[in-house]
Amino acid sequence: LENDSAPLEHVQLDVKDCVHQEMGPSSGSIFLDSVPTLAFPSISTADFMFDLDKASDIIVEKVEEFVNKLGGGRLVLVDLSHKSKILSLVRAKAAQKNIDSMKFSTFVGDITRLYSGGGLRCNVIANAANWRLKPGGGGVNAAIFSAAGPDLESATKERAGSLAPGKALVVPLPSTSPLSIKEGIAHVIHVLGPNMNPQRPNCLNNDYVKGCKALREAYSSLFEGFASILS
């Protein structure tokens, strides 16, 4: 599952158990086709300027808490670049805690092209949303709304008009959406993380007591949302 060029100790697959080792859109990948998988970006750590070291602690803590409550479900943290600091931090900390790499791993790629661009099958993706649940604004939010087309905006609107920090909203993606057709995504889970960027609404002004609490809540809401889809 791991496609990063960094050391593979955390994500080493047991090759003898793998039918395919290569990943690509046409090869069908290893165990991926039937395993419910949530791909999620690191919430709050880019536009919202949350401290990466603190965020990586929280991601690993929450993954560890939920990974065994998800039955067969898997979690994959995604970022765009092989140089992603948050991916390196999380990989190192997950390895230290011996988190099962079949249940949690990291992946470098565009979250809107995981299957077509990277051969990774995910049926659920998370979005680092804004409080209005609106398209645009840059980052992963703009990418997901743009790739999903107007279907995502209308399906989101039907369920909620806004989101509070720390909360998540599960939205079933209409099968007419290009993200469903091309990538096999059935649900998008919007998550609003805490904001440390003074240029954005509800800035916490570096209050990391509040911020860490809200980020923990955000990941709990996200993983509970994924669990609710599985059950």
Q: Is 165 in the site for ligand AR6 (CB under 6 A)?
A: no
Map the chain to HEC letters. CCCCCCCCCCCCCCHHHCCCCCCCCCCCCCCCCCCCEEEEECCCCCCCCCCHHHHHHHHHHHHHHHHHHCCCCEEEEEECCCCCHHHHHHHHHHHHCCCCCCCEEEEECCCCCHHHHHCCCCCEEEEECCCCCCCCCCHHHHHHHHHHCHHHHHHHHHHCCCCCCCCEEEEECCCCCHHHHHHCCCEEEEECCCECCCCCCCECCCCHHHHHHHHHHHHHHHHHHHHHHHC
Query: Shortest distance, CB of residue 170 to ligand AR6, whole angstroms?
Result: 18
Per CB under 6 A, contacts with ligand AR6 among 12-31 are none
Q: Is 169 in the site for ligand AR6 (CB under 6 A)?
A: no
Q: Give the residue, chosen from 29, 37, 44, 177, that forms a contact with ligand AR6 under the rule CB under 6 A.
A: 44
> What x-and-dash track marks residues 71-100 binding ligand AR6 by CB under 6 A?
-------xxx-----x--------------
Query: Shortest distance, CB of residue 172 to ligand AR6, whole angstroms?
Result: 21
Q: Is 125 in the site for ligand AR6 (CB under 6 A)?
A: no
Q: Which residue is nearest to ligand AR6 (CB)?
A: 139
| Nearer Cβ to ligand AR6 (34/81) | 81
What residues make contact with ligand AR6 under the rule CB under 6 A? 41-48, 78-80, 86, 110-112, 128, 130, 137-141, 143, 193, 200
